[in-house]
A and B are shown apart, each in its own frame.
Chain A
Amino acid sequence: MSTTQMLKGIIDGCLLAIIKDTEVYGYEMAEKLGSYGFHSFSEGTIYPLLLRMQKEELVTSTLKKSTAGPRRKYYSLTPKGELELNKFIERWNNLQSNVNKVLDCESDTEYTKGDEIIE
């Protein structure tokens, strides 16, 4: 399975988390994701996700003037979006600890050796 496939559904949650604190526009979000280490996905994938999250009323957007050119679309979280973010965090923590448990117990030997095999 490629990273892109694994990322599906996870990027949604990360976007919600990025939007939570400050209003951000598309390019900023992509940059932030990049700076956190998500390099493999194409930046444009955030827009279909944002469209869907807007349809589901998780985020709202406003157009704001910018000095650099046309008006940018800034996104912010709705109360429903905040709830969804909390659910995502819960789901993620659960998933993360489960996966870690599986990997720790099941592939114990390979996992420790893994450090040497996979750089």
Chain B
Amino acid sequence: MSNELKLSKKSQEFLENLRVYLFSSGKRWDEIEGIVNELEIHLSEAEKNGKPIEKVIGKSPKEYMEMISNEMIIDYRTWFKYICLIIFGALFINILPDLLEGNLSYSVLEIVGYIVITITFIASVFTGFKYISKSNQSIKIQGLILFTIALLPMLLFSGLIFLNRSINTPIIYLGNTGSIIIAIIAALFIIGMSLWAKTWLLIIVVTMLTLPNYLLNLTSLEYETQLILNSIITFGGIGIYLWIMFKLEKNK
């Protein structure tokens, strides 16, 4: 925005919370921006005239957010699209390294577990965000909630690996042709998604996750050295990319 409005910290916080709350309630992005901008103008004019924020949003920000949310329609189609993108995007990112090592084979438990964990993760992210934006918790508790949400899929995936070892379910084995078809679909999906979202992020992440590992395997370095180098290049590379993007965004 070219014309930044002067706003008190309390008002800014409220607007941020409102945005997150409406977003995690599944409202349409442009409608959210519309109402947030409108309230931003209102709050800044009210502050200029010496009115406290309570005069605008009432005593309970939570109730006010709900009031607004109730008047906005839920955009199920976009949300379905996003959720599909997250599930398949993460799935293909997981599959690619396996593909480079050879043909694909997964147990039924792994496949079902993967889908269940992803859905659980998405649901927990939305519930968590909604809760944080609505309730006035301290930064510490907010951090703790986000940390738990981030930890949840890791714990569940560890559980799944353990379970997969102790319970035998039928294994779906994809031969050469099958693996190649999946690889092509995955590549097309990632390229398509990058074009749609106009970002290099996915391509960079996928390259960083697979290419160093693949190239290092070709060298005669020791296995431990390979592992260490691999993680440094992967996370360093993604980190540098995000840092550059952040700088570019800031200079806009």
Contacts and interface: CB of A to CB of B under 8 A. Distances in A.
A35 interface: no
B35 A47 contact: yes
B68 interface: yes
Contacts of A51: 35, 68, 71-72
B5 A70 contact: yes
A47 B68 contact: yes
Nearest to A70: B3
B224 interface: no
A43 interface: yes
Interface in B27-81: 34-35, 37-42, 44-46, 51, 54-58, 64, 67-68, 70-73
Contacts of A92: none
Interface of A is mostly: helix
B55 A26 contact: no
B38 A73 contact: yes
A42 B37 contact: no
A106 to B, nearest CB: 34
Interface string A21-53: 000011100100000000000111101100110
A48 B38 CA distance: 12
Nearest to B68: A48
B1 interface: yes
Interface in B93-125: none
B70 A44 contact: no
Contacts of B38: 26, 47, 73
A69 interface: yes
**Which one of A43, A52, A55, A72 has the highest number of Cβ atoms from chain B below 10 Å of its Cβ?**
A43
Contact of B3 (A27, A42, A55, A69): A69
A81 to B, nearest CB: 17
A71 B71 CA distance: 23
A70 B57 contact: no
B56 A52 contact: no
Contacts of B3: 69-70
A73 B68 contact: no
B42 A43 contact: yes
A70 B15 CA distance: 16
A51 B51 CA distance: 24
A73 to B, nearest CB: 5
| Residue of B3, B39, B41, B68 with most chain A CB atoms under a 10 A cut-off | B41
A42 B67 CA distance: 12
B113 to A, nearest CB: 42
A42 B41 contact: no
A42 B71 contact: no
Nearest to B37: A70
Nearest to B6: A69
Contacts of A55: 71, 73
B46 A27 contact: yes
Given A42-B64, A44-B56, A70-B3, 19 more contacts: A27-B45, A30-B56, A42-B55, A42-B56, A43-B46, A43-B51, A43-B55, A44-B64, A45-B67, A47-B42, A48-B67, A51-B35, A51-B72, A55-B71, A55-B73, A69-B3, A69-B4, A69-B5, A73-B38
